Amino acid sequence: MNKYGLTFKMTTNGTGRLIAAEISGEAALDAANQINELCDIGSDLVFCGRLGDDRGTEGLYLVEKGDPIKVAQDFRVGSQASTYDRNAESETCRMLSAIYRLRPFKPIVVNRAAYEARFLSPIDLASAERVVRAMRDHGQGMDYYSSELPNFSDEEIAASLVRTQKLNLWWD
């Protein structure tokens, strides 16, 4: 299938995901960002992801008429933390669902240890504060904010959401 100037092929696991075979690693991240910034992708999800364990390189994925929460489940987002939090994976999906109900988004990076997403419409400070409350309620993926923000306060996290217009979740 040709879309967004690239050739995508069906993945072997039969879940309906398509992957651009010729793009991997940093090029996949760059392509995901460019496609999401410059193209009207409608209900498609185009993101840089890695299925399974941490071995191998990340690829550029396309899910037509995709559900960002289902993608998180399929890619086992949050499972990086399973050694110290056995509920991390399921709680992450609940948190993403809560955030999506507040401010819809599309993923850009998806793997066991990270979920980066762009909000579909500009997020203001009041909305960002509600998103932060949902993040705190579920307590997942906060490692990005704890490493990047000096005080790791709710105000700093909300300001980061507004400044970047992105949700950045990491698990170390």
pLDDT tens for each residue of 75-104 = 888 888 777 778 888 899 999 999 999 999
61 and 71 housed in the same domain: no
50 and 62 housed in the same domain: yes
Task: Please give the tally of structural domains in the chain.
Answer: 2
42 and 88 housed in the same domain: no
Confidence check: pLDDT of 68 > 70? yes
92 and 157 housed in the same domain: yes
Kindly give, in sequence order, each residue whose CB lies less than 8 Å from that of residue 67, ignoring residues fewer than 6 positions away.
Answer: none
Confidence check: pLDDT of 21 > 80? no
26 and 107 housed in the same domain: no
pLDDT at residue 57, rounded to an integer: 67
pLDDT at residue 15, rounded to an integer: 57
Angstrom distance (rounded) from CA 41 to CA 35? 8
Task: Give the residue, 108 or 74, on which the prediction is more confident.
Answer: 108
Query: Quick one: what percent of the chain has pLDDT higher than 70?
Result: 92
pLDDT at residue 54, rounded to an integer: 55
Token pair belonging to 104: 């819809």
79 and 61 housed in the same domain: no
56 and 108 housed in the same domain: no
Compute CA distances 100 → 27, 53, 107, whole Å.
Answer: 27, 26, 11
State which residues form the domain around 126.
Answer: 67-172
84 and 135 housed in the same domain: yes
Confidence check: pLDDT of 51 > 90? no
User: What is the chain's mean pLDDT, rounded?
Assistant: 88
142 and 57 housed in the same domain: no
85 and 165 housed in the same domain: yes
6 and 83 housed in the same domain: no
What's the rounded mean pLDDT across residues 51-63?
75
pLDDT at residue 13, rounded to an integer: 57
Task: Give the residue, 110 or 21, on which the prediction is more confident.
Answer: 110
Domain boundary (26, 43, 66) is at 66
